Amino acid sequence: MTWSLPELPPLDLDAAAELRRIVDGKAKPLGALGRLEDLAVQLGAIQGRIDPRADRAVVLLFAGDHGLTEDGVSAYPREVTGAMVRLILEGRASVNALARAVGAEVRAIDAGVAASLPPHPMLQACKVCEGTRNAAREAAMTAEECAGALACGAEAVRAAVAAGAEVVALGEMGIGNTASASLLLHRLGPAPLADCIGVGAGHDDAGLARKQRVLAAAAERCDAREPLEVLRQFGGLEIAGMTGAALAAAAARLPVVVDGFISTAAVLVAVRLQPQVLDFCMFGHSSAERAHRLMLERLGARPLLDLGLRLGEGTGAVLALPILKSAAVMARDVASLAEVLGQA
């Protein structure tokens, strides 16, 4: 697959202004619904309509393995990635349960799992390769592999649009990917490396110290600063997939609900490539992973929820979907103050 940086449309400022007027005129005190009103206006500006929609949501869950796990950056072996994707395909993972609760569809995208996955209606198989290389010793991906993963993300969005999606949520599965996200934040935040590294999926003190040493070696190996090169050197196939998806969704005027630390790292790359993509993003939650707040600050992003989550899988983004849907329904269905006064 080939990939090129898409041209993004501007927000529809006329629709935003008209929707703001409509929301301000609802049967409530001015601004009484707080950020819900801002979300409704943002949806309208993205979609170019004064009756925004957020009913049909799809979770695009990208999966890939990481060569950095060879050096013990995760408390779990990389075989867990494939096992968890199989669990997701069976409908028995956390993201499946939460998606059912809010009426969202889950699509798993195999961008680079180091295992064979069975064909499944929920699975988009576009495996670029079986995991990245060890970024502490060499570039995680070749330029062709990185482009292939970006294209994989764009193709997942095209399929979602064709199926009628009105919102996409980004999620991931990849043992070791907090290590890659830390390196991306370090270079593209930018931020001191020590501030970018957390315990991930359950390191003890010794494991955290090992992770810090490995990531310091990776950062020392290469001084890349340009966004695509940083992604190639330190990223993951699933992270590159989410980067491509965020850019493609923005190009298609599709709102993007971002999950936690890993998904936000992918959006950080997208924003450094195309700053305008940030206008199309809503950030579902603030993760318990210590560097996520720093990443959100670097993006100037305000998360919708703070529930102490640190799972990934798109779970925080899924939990935020009802808020987005509520904003759209409010904009469409709440009576205007003029109607109320006319009935008095």
Enumerate the active-site residues.
313
Q: Name beta bridge partners: 170.
A: 60, 258
The residue to which tokens 């992604």 are assigned: 231
**Which residues contact residue 220 at a Cβ distance below 8 angstroms, ignoring those fewer than 6 apart?**
none
From the list 97, 247, 83, 248, the residue with the least C-alpha distance to 159 is: 248
Tokens at 166, concatenated:
């009105």
Burial (0-12, 13-18, 19+ Cβ within 10 Å), 225: exposed
Coil, strand or helix at 335: coil
- CB-based contacts of 248: which residues, under 8 Å, 6+ apart? 6, 153, 154, 157, 158
Which tokens in the block code for residue 37?
A: 């009103």
Specify which residues 59 forms β-bridges with: 106, 169
Query: Following DSSP, what letter does each residue of 79-143 receive, concatenated?
Result: HHHHHHHHHHHTT-SHHHHHHHHHT-EEEEEEEE-SS-----TTEEE---SSS---TTTS-SS-H
- Strand 123-125 to 167-173 pairing: unpaired
